[in-house]
């Protein structure tokens, strides 16, 4: 059996709540960090509220495979920028008879004005997601002079229709990851913080819209990939990340993922906009940046991530970030 929980902005209110709605004319920012021990999940939750935005980052370990969602009339009408950072799950919404799939390292833009149904989640690993909810009014204001997929999405939600910017979610780019990191770890205070958070959320929306526009254009001329092929490619990506310090060779990866080398190479670049080698290199360097910012030494990071020497690591890092590891720490 599952357990009833609320949706969207008030999703945690039964156990310690969301924020009280402040007057619309006030320009404000409120944030909080909490740990919860639900009967169905243990969770760490970081939330930010502004007049036009609700932001939530959650790191959860589900104790139950299935949850039940019920309507909540107090939830404001909002458009969701959804980023699944790790874990997997799906939600079936009985209202519009639609299933929404959430896979690790994928993102989409979703408008779901009503939700009543069930969610299924992996109970063997942590489920981490980051969401930015724009009020419908604010989203329509931003998208007013846009074109392409963003305008189509705006037109649909303006009419109160359920909508996603695209049925197929896309990978979270490094630029999106950096944006998310900057929002969660923002050091500004007061009005500067409010300005920074609002600008970064708009930047995330632009990055998503750009990614979907490029994907639609590219897919018109790329090789056909079946659902099985795509699943195999994502399995290969997940295996690479799990073994990032000692990545497998191409022959081993082909054997593990179950499709031929041509489809793996071309399909991987199609799905992630990078070659396998470039993807592994970028992932390691972004991981290295995080470790350095946490205070780890350059030598230990280079060793931990499998670089042949500190010099080799320094050259690769400088090429990607245009700054040496030592200067980053300063």
Residue 27 — very low, low, confident or very high, per pLDDT cuts 50/70/90?
low
Check if the beta carbon of residue 283 is closer than 8 Å to that of residue 244: yes
C-alpha to C-alpha distances, 49 to 12, 93, 247, 273, 298, nearest whole angstrom: 14, 26, 41, 33, 37
Residue partners of 73: CB distance under 8 A and separation at least 6: none
- Whole-number mean pLDDT of the chain? 84
Question: What pLDDT shows up at residue 223?
Answer: 64
Mean pLDDT along residues 146-165: 86
pLDDT for the residue 2: 32
Crossing angle of helices 250-257 and 227-242, in 10° steps, is 130
Q: Token pair of 50, please?
A: 């502004």
pLDDT at 32: 93
CA 31 from centre of chain = 20
Of 32, 41, 157, 45, the C-alpha closest to 89 is: 41
pLDDT tens column, 207-251: 999 999 888 777 655 567 777 888 888 889 888 888 888 888 888
Dihedral of the alpha carbons of 246, 249, 254, 256, in degrees to the nearest 10: -30
pLDDT band at 9 (very low <50, low <70, confident <90, very high): very low
Q: What does the pLDDT read at residue 73?
A: 65
Q: Which residues contact 75 (CB under 8 A, 6 or more apart)?
A: 6, 7, 8, 9, 10
- How long, in residues, is the chain? 330
Q: Which of 103-107, 168-172, 182-186, 222-226 has the lowest mean pLDDT?
A: 222-226
Q: Which domains does the chain have, with CATH numbers?
A: 4-219 (2.60.120.280), 227-329 (1.10.10.60)
Give 34-64 pLDDT, tens digit per residue. Answer: 999 988 889 999 999 999 999 999 999 999 8
pTM to 2 decimals? 0.66
Q: How far, in Å, CA of 59 to CA of 162, rounded?
A: 27
Q: Which tens digit of pLDDT belongs to each residue from 262-288?
A: 888 888 887 787 888 888 888 888 888
**pLDDT at residue 12 in the model:** 35
Query: How far apart, in whole angstroms, are the C-alpha atoms of residue 247 and residue 243?
Result: 5
Written as six digits, the tokens of 208 are: 């998503």
pLDDT (0 to 100) of residue 222: 57
């Amino acid at each position: 059996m599952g357990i009833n929980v609320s949706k969207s902005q008030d999703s945690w209110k039964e156990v310690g709540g969301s924020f009280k709605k402040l007057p619309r004319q006030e320009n404000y920012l409120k944030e909080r960090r909490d740990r919860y021990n639900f009967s169905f999940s243990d969770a760490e939750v970081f939330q930010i509220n502004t007049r036009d935005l609700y932001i939530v980052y959650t790191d959860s370990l589900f104790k139950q495979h299935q949850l039940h969602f019920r309507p909540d009339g107090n939830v404001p009408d909002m458009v969701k920028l959804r980023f699944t950072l790790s874990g997997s799950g799906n939600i079936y919404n009985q209202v519009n008879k639609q299933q929404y799939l959430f896979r690790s390292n994928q993102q989409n833009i979703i408008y779901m004005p009503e939700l009543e149904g069930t969610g299924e989640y992996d109970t063997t690993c942590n489920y981490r997601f980051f969401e930015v909810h724009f009020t419908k009014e604010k989203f329509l204001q931003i998208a007013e002079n846009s074109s392409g997929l963003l305008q189509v999405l705006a037109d649909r939600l303006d009419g109160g229709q359920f909508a996603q910017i695209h049925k197929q979610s896309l990978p979270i780019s490094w630029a999106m990851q950096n944006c998310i990191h900057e929002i969660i770890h923002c050091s500004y205070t007061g009005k500067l913080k409010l300005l920074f958070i609002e600008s970064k959320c708009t930047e995330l929306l632009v990055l998503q819209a750009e990614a979907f526009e490029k994907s639609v254009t590219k897919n018109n001329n790329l090789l056909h990939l079946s659902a099985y092929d795509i699943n195999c490619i994502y399995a290969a990506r997940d295996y690479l990340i799990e073994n990032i310090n000692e990545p497998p060779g191409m022959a081993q990866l082909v054997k593990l993922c179950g499709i031929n080398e041509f489809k793996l190479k071309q399909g991987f670049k199609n799905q992630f906009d990078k070659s396998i080698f470039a993807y592994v290199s970028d992932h390691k360097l972004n991981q290295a940046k995080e470790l350095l910012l946490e205070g780890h030494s350059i030598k230990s990071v280079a060793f931990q991530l499998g670089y042949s020497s500190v010099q080799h690591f320094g050259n690769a890092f400088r090429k990607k970030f245009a700054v040496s590891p030592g200067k980053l720490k300063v």
